[in-house]
Amino acid sequence: MMKLKQFAAAYLFNEDEEVLFLQKKEDASFLSGMLVPVGGHMKEGEMNAPESACIREIEEESGLDNDDYHNLQLRYILYRMKGVEEIRIQYIFFGEMSKESDLVASEEGELKWIPYRDIPNEDVTQTNKEIAQHYETTGRFNDHVYVGVMKSDNGEPGITWALLEDWELYEGKPF
């Protein structure tokens, strides 16, 4: 039986174009020692509300509430097969906040600011490297939502990107 797991995470940017990441503890059961954006698993009641899940995860992992950040927008949706029995869907939101905001220590690890251009060179998942690279070349120039499908390209991980748009609209008008 095919399982479906969903995740919601946020790239929270400060005024210096740094993104808030969580350095997972070395003994963490999932992604130990790695840098991850603030976020996590969606709960059963959140499956149709990824933004609510993202807001909950931001508060749990950083102590921030929705008055501490603004302009939270869905920017990326990623699909990935994990083995042959699991599909993972990740909803990635982007938002803005002040570097001076009060952050609360998390049980899951230490919060760190990472310049977004440095993300591909950090100890992050391939998914986050691909998001940062796409954002640098394409995503930062607009407010579109992009859908990515994880793939193997000659044994190397990668993402095929597509713009998420309403096929019934052309230049803002119905076909």
Q: For the segment 93-132, what is each residue's pLDDT rounded down to a tens digit?
A: 999 999 999 998 788 899 999 999 999 999 999 999 999 9
The reported pLDDT for the residue numbered 172 is 64
Calculate mean pLDDT across residues 162-173: 80
Residue with more model confidence, 81 or 32: 81
Query: Residue 170 has what pLDDT?
Result: 66
Please compute the mean of the pLDDT values over residues 139-157 and round it to a whole number.
93
Q: Is 155 left (phi over 0), alpha (psi -120 to 50) or beta?
A: left
Q: How far apart are the first and last CA of the chain?
A: 39
- Model confidence at 174, in pLDDT bands (50, 70, 90)? low
- Statement: residue 175 has pLDDT above 60: no
Residue-range definition of the domain harbouring residue 76:
3-174
Output the pTM of the full model.
0.92
Residue 26, domain CATH: 3.90.79.10
Q: How far apart are CA 36 and CA 108, in angstroms?
A: 11
Give pLDDT tens digits for 9-62: 999 999 999 999 999 988 877 887 899 999 999 999 999 999 999 999 999 999
Coil, strand or helix at 146: strand
pLDDT for position 1:
86
| CA–CA gap between residue 111 and residue 35 (Å, rounded) | 9
Report how many domains make up the chain.
1
Query: 84-102: per-residue pLDDT in tens?
Result: 899 999 999 999 999 999 9
Residue 51 is predicted with a pLDDT of: 97
